[in-house]
Amino acid sequence: THVDTGKIEEYVANQQDETTDLFGLAKGKNIVLISMESTQNFVINQKVNGREITPFLNNLIGESFYFNQIYDQTAQGKTSDSEFMIDTSLYPLSGGSVFVRRPKNTFNSLQHILKENGAYYSASFHGNDPSFWNREKMYENLGYDHFFSKQDYQVTDENSVNYGIKDIPFFEQSVEHMKTMPEPYLAKLITLTNHFPFLLDENDQLIAMGNTDEGVVNRYVTTVRYQDEAIKRLFQTLKDNGMYKDTIFVLYGDHYGISKKYEAALSQMLGDEYSPINHSHYRQVPVIIHIPGQKGETIAVPGGEIDIRPTLLHLLGIKAEDTISFGRNLFTRSANHPVIFRDGGFVNDTYIYQDGVCYNKTTGEQLDHVACEPYQKNVHDELGLSDDIIYGDLLRFTSRKD
């Protein structure tokens, strides 16, 4: 059958990367991606009971690129959807997880691109069973060289909580594995402790719980604080072992942790007045890119998780012009271009289209439909093309040498 990849290539060719003086800033460096479980952007620089929830990240931001308007674009595939967007720069599916539903498709993944441009070795690290989210199979297809999963860690009752090994011992043991990898490498470390329902041993609670009516929100503060401590120690361990200086770090929240039904309690904790668009604001996740020695810069352009890959490739000095990608480089992304959600909603610098209602992004005022309409076509087109690629396995018709 005839497959029209022309439409897709033409579309993607429209989004050629602009050159900036940041291009190649981190060329050839090792890459450490830290997927921060359920970490929403409101925790950054936020105090509860007078104490910071993320003292380490708040500091790190002062010497990093901090993207403070990045939205969670995941759907039912949760963590796996965030991994999929970062690895492929395609949208997740509207139902289920691509990792589970399409593990045999051809993908021109980040791992393949890095292999071809710099002979990178890629590994993922995660303390859960290798079959969870079908990671074992999908990772192989995406071109990961190794997956360090639960069976590669010493997991005991004492060093575990909730879904598995706690973040501090997870990072400690991960560094030992990282030492065995050939350079340059991409290491994706996926945290786990800050997972619903946010359980934590008393000894690990480094901050008092929140004071809202919802235990979920109150406990969340303590598990995010614990994760922050774990990341702080990871950085120290990497410095102690000479693994810090030649590395670019990308830290991002994988998706929301506080679901809609707890958002009233969250507003209570943050002192926010009710507004229908609070929901959209709460769906922001932090994205922090740290290159040792750089000056801090906060970048307030609206973007999504799908934009992380092109941004990283830009810093690595990899053009990847022939790569089909729906993401855009966050250093040059137009603030007007919608950040697209799987349910058909979007956000840009002016509007929020949420649950079928168009809002003024600044005031939260409800607007006439026509204001959002031009962007809705864009939303519909991008999601449709991405779905066509995934359901039709269309990338097998494009040229990928591996």
Is residue 132 at the binding interface for ligand GP9, with CB under 6 A as the rule? Answer: yes
Known binder of ligand: residue 255?
Answer: yes
Q: How far apart are alpha carbons 272 and 282 in whole angstroms?
A: 11
Q: Which stretch binds ligand GP9 (CB under 6 A): 87-95, 124-132, 215-223, 316-324?
A: 124-132
Kindly tell me which of 37 and 263 has the beta carbon lying closer to Mn ion: 37
Q: Which stretch binds ligand GP9 (CB under 6 A): 39-47, 125-133, 289-297, 340-348?
A: 125-133
Binding mask 50-89 for ligand GP9 (x = CB under 6 A): ----------------------------xx----------
Q: Min. distance of Cβ 47 from ligand GP9 in angstroms?
A: 26
Kindly tell me which of 148 and 375 has the beta carbon lying closer to ligand GP9: 148
Known binder of ligand: residue 79?
Answer: yes
Which amino acid would we find at residue 168?
Answer: I
Q: Min. distance of Cβ 343 from Mn ion in angstroms?
A: 18
**156 annotated active-site:** no
Q: Which stretch binds ligand GP9 (CB under 6 A): 188-196, 204-212, 222-230, 339-347?
A: 188-196
Q: Min. distance of Cβ 63 from ligand GP9 in angstroms?
A: 29
Place of tokens 């005031």: 363
Is residue 83 at the binding interface for Mn ion, with CB under 5 A as the rule? Answer: no
Kindly tell me which of 75 and 250 has the beta carbon lying closer to ligand GP9: 75
Q: Min. distance of Cβ 255 from Mn ion in angstroms?
A: 6
- At residue 93, what are phi and psi to the nearest 5 degrees? -80, 160
Binding mask 30-49 for Mn ion (x = CB under 5 A): -------x------------
Site for Mn ion in 225-284 (CB under 5 A): 254
Answer for which of 105, 128, 284, 348 binds ligand GP9 (CB under 6 A) is 128
Answer for which of 29, 166, 195, 314 binds ligand GP9 (CB under 6 A) is 195
Catalytic residue among 74, 79, 193, 223: 79
Task: State the first-to-last Cα distance of the chain, in angstroms, to the nearest integer.
Answer: 25
Place of tokens 């507003």: 267
**Residue 283 binds which of ligand GP9, Mn ion, none (CB < 5-8 A, kind-dependent):** none
Per CB under 6 A, residues contacting ligand GP9 are 78-79, 126, 128, 132, 163, 190, 192, 195
**Binding site per annotation, positions:** 37, 79, 195, 254-255
Active site residues: 79
| Residues in the annotated binding site for Mn(2+) | 37, 79, 254-255
